[in-house]
Each structure stands twice: as C-alpha cells, then as structure tokens.
Copies of this chain bind each other. A is one copy, B any other.
Amino acid sequence: MFEAVELGQKVSKEEFDEALTDLRTRLIQAQTAFAKYPGPLIIILNGMDGAGKGELMNYLGGLMDLRNIIIKTFWQENEAEKNKPFYWRYWMSLPYRGHIGFFFGAWYAGEMLEAAKGNTSTAEYERRMKRAATFESMLADDGAVFVKFWFHLSRKTSKKKTDDLKKKFGKGEILERAMWHREKYDAIVKAAERGIRLTDHSKARWHLIEADDKRHRTLKALRIIVETLEAAVASIGAKQKTDKKTVSLAPPVLSKVDLSLTAEYEEYKKRLPEMQERLNSLAWKAYEKKRSTIAVFEGWDAAGKGSAIRRIVQGTDIRLASVISIAAPTDEEKAHHYLWRFWRHIPSAGFITVYDRSWYGRVLVERVEKFAAENEWSRSFEEINDFEEHLTESGIILVKFWVHIDMEEQLKRFKERENLPWKQYKITDEDWRNREKWDMYEQAANETITRTSTGHAPWNLIAGNDKKYARLKILETMCRAMEEKL
C-alpha cells in the first residue's frame, strides 16, 4: 500500500508560496463558515516517527483561528483515564459541533505500536481496529467529519533522519526512540498497513501522505483539510437523507411478565434489611476489587423506580453509591453525540452508580415523542449495544432493570400521588399525557428490550404491581449480578 506514496514527490518553494496564498484564505474562510456545521471535524494525525506531524500542526496553528480548535496528543494516560473504559478519554476529548479537533495518534497509535511489537494477536488487533471503525461510523452518523492522515517516510528518509539525530545528540531518549523505530521499520509498516486497511471506510477515509519532503506533505495535508472543510460547508443546510421506515414487530415481551407476583409484608420486613446488608458488603468488596457497578432503571411512570433506587442507596454506604437522574441535556451535551453525556458520568473503578432513566431514553421517549428522527433512534440499538459492551469489557458490572406495571396499577398510583401532599411533586401533566400513549410506549419498550438484551447486558424484567415484591427482586438481582462477577 505504501509504495503508492514512495514517489519522491517534492514541492519547490515557489510552488509552495503560490499555492499557499490561495489556500490560507480558503482555509480560514472555510473554518469560519464551518462553525455552523452540525458536527465536528476530527483530523487524525498518524504516521512514522519523525514524519513531521508536530511540525505540521504548528504550521496549521499559524494559519487557523485557534479559538474553535482542540489539539489532543493522548501521549499520557492519567489515573482517572486508567480507571475508565478505553474509549472514555476519546469521548471526553471530542470537539463540539462546528469545532475542529486535531488528534495525534488518536485511537490508533497505541494499538498499532502494540501490534508492531507483536503484543497483540492477529484476531485481537482486527477486533480493536473494527471497534475503532465502529466508533468513527457512529460519530459520523451523528454528523462528525473525519480526516485521517498517515504520514509515510521511506526507509531511506527514515534512516537519514536517525543518522542526523545521532550526529546532533550522540545519545539520549529522543535518539533511542528514533533508533527503535528505525529498527522496527518493517514491523511498523506492516501493522500500520493492516490497521489502515481494516479502518478505511466511507465515513472516515485514510489519506496516505508521502512525508519525505516537508513542503510536499504540508501542502498536501493543507489541501485535503481545506477541501474537506469546503465540502462540509457546502453541505450545510442540505436535507439529510432519511433512511427508509423500518418495520418492527417486536415480540410482546412485557405482556409475559407475571404481574400477579407478590411478597408478604412479614417476608419483606425481614428480607429487605438482610438484602441491603448483603448489598453493602458487596459494595465494599467491589470497591476493594476496583470493580464498578452500573444499575440502570427504566419502566413506566410510577412503576416504582424511584422508591426501589432509594432502597438500594439507603442500604449502601453513602461513600460508594450515587444516583444519576437523567434530565434534559444541557447545551454542552447537545453539542455532542447523544451518548456523550453518559460517557461523561461513567464511574471511576470501584463505585456504584444508579441511573434513574438512562441512554434508553433515545429509543423510548425520544422515539415516541419524535425528538429523534427514525434514522437516528433506529441506529441507536447497535450504538447502545456497543456502548454497553465497552462498559462490561472494561470490567463494569452492568445491571438493567425494566420495572413493569399495568395500566390499572398506574392509574391507582397516579391518583394516590395527587392525593398525598408529599407525593404531588411526582405527578405532572406530562405523566398523564404519556399515559395516553401507552401503546406506543409499550411497542417501543418491547422492541428495545428485544434488541438490547445481550449476553453481556441482559434486561431484568421486574413485576412491579406489588412494590414489596419488586424491591426484593431488584435487590436480589443486583446482589446476584455482583456476586457472580466478584
């Protein structure tokens, strides 16, 4: 693959200066107009050691408006990052819509290096590269534009560069690093080629750039960036293509929940504190083992999610457990992919986080209320499954609850809420409106549960008509899930 960029291409100073006069103006104008683009531009700078990536960045920095730019080098993983899933740091670095991010190495450099060292099996490398491509596709579906650069140095130039360094330094860290890369030239080229092939897809193309000549590589990269920006700007306001309507006939999983299940008061009184103590011990054990737990609660309004969550939190040391209630996204959150705000709150290793509603809002309320277009929510099933796989793979214990009640029980509880002064805050007009759309919500719920009940993150359907039964069942399920993994 890299033969194509060993052509000895060179650019003279005159050519360069002439091209620049035009390009710098187009660049800054396109960047200014791009501020209105409904997605970020992510420029990935990758390539051989010494190929001039940093130099290029400095040069571009001199031409561009630094105000909407993020530059990330990812060269050091800090403690907080080590305690989170691998992609967390990349999520947290993503630029806002209309902004530009320059990512050095991004999610590639480390993986390619490990592969070049022979530390990653062929299958594992392929899996990780596919995951990178999936990540990019997901962001691209949400509007992100990608430019992925690979700066290639011929063996000859690579050799010459290290010779120059040797003369300059004689010894030292920089030289050692360069020598290592020179020795591993073939292995690095091989790993990079394979990685590039596995991750070159229509939503995020690689651009191979011959990097031996500084003016050539600078001009080439500049042209690609300018043209990408201009193309994006030209498409602002164009109608997004809408996927065809999907037909979904989900099995009626909710109707199979046995709502007649109950627990006796005596049993409840006895077992609740027992289970809470068990959960508390598990919480400490998880803390010691640095395993996080995420419990997700979805279900009908008034199904008893809130009171079940209270039983969990009350039973657990306040230092170890916290609750996140999902409200409307803030403007910072809206300026990112919808999963961003959930990545944002991923707990550090060892803690319990309970979600009162969650990322499933995308395929439930946002679907039914049409806040998300069909092509948006329908692709979210895969995105959510991927997201949860990231969580569980990083060692997080994920427990998902759907608390189910029937319409009659809901009506009873709504009325009770209206009558008890300290419960009135829980009932709003919106609850009554949602109730009228019961069938649509049920259909959405059935499809959601069917599509997102995966091996690594199955749904637990909880019969909620009897609150005592539901609470015991939830605590029991949560304890079991934790015991299994600890």
Q: Which residues of A come within 8 Å of B, CB atoms?
A: 24-25, 27-29, 31-32, 54, 57-58, 61-63, 65-67, 71, 73, 75-76, 78-80, 104, 306, 309-310, 313-314, 317-319, 322-323, 325, 327, 330-332, 348, 356, 421-422, 424-426
A325 to B65, CA, bound (A): 10
Shortest beta-carbon distance from A34 to chain B in Å: 11
Given A79-B78, A325-B67; A422-B73 close (CB under 8 Å): no
A422-B28 in contact (CB<8A) = yes
Shortest beta-carbon distance from A420 to chain B in Å: 8
Q: Which residue in chain B gives the minimum CB-CB distance to A309?
A: B66
Copies of this chain per assembly:
2
A330-B332 in contact (CB<8A) = yes
A62-B314 in contact (CB<8A) = yes
B314-A25 in contact (CB<8A) = no
Q: A65-B425, A66-B323, A79-B79 are in contact. List 4 more A-B contacts (CB 8 A).
A: A24-B422, A66-B310, A67-B327, A79-B80
Q: Which residue in chain B gives the minimum CB-CB distance to A63?
A: B422
A331 to B335, CA, bound (A): 12
A28 to B424, CA, bound (A): 9
Chain B residues whose CB sits within 8 angstroms of the CB of A71 once the complex forms: 318, 322
A29 to B306, CA, bound (A): 18
A425 to B426, CA, bound (A): 50
Chain B residues whose CB sits within 8 angstroms of the CB of A57 once the complex forms: 318
A78-B75 in contact (CB<8A) = no
User: Could you list 24 A-B pairs, sorted by A, with CB under 8 Å?
Assistant: A28-B421, A28-B424, A28-B425, A29-B424, A54-B317, A57-B318, A58-B318, A61-B314, A65-B425, A65-B426, A66-B306, A66-B309, A66-B325, A67-B325, A67-B356, A71-B322, A73-B318, A75-B319, A78-B348, A79-B79, A79-B80, A80-B80, A104-B318, A331-B331
Chain B residues whose CB sits within 8 angstroms of the CB of A331 once the complex forms: 330-332
Chain B residues whose CB sits within 8 angstroms of the CB of A424 once the complex forms: 28-29
Shortest beta-carbon distance from A329 to chain B in Å: 10
Chain B residues whose CB sits within 8 angstroms of the CB of A65 once the complex forms: 425-426
Shortest beta-carbon distance from A374 to chain B in Å: 28
Chain B residues whose CB sits within 8 angstroms of the CB of A317 once the complex forms: 54
Q: Which residue in chain B gives the minimum CB-CB distance to A335?
A: B330
A421 to B75, CA, bound (A): 36
B73-A310 in contact (CB<8A) = no
Shortest beta-carbon distance from A47 to chain B in Å: 15
A322 to B330, CA, bound (A): 26
Q: Which residue in chain B gives the minimum CB-CB distance to A25?
A: B421
Q: Which of B25, B27, B356 contacts A66 (CB 8 A)?
A: B356
Residue in A24, A65, A422, A424 with the greatest tally of chain B CB atoms within 10 Å: A422
Chain B residues whose CB sits within 8 angstroms of the CB of A330 once the complex forms: 330-332
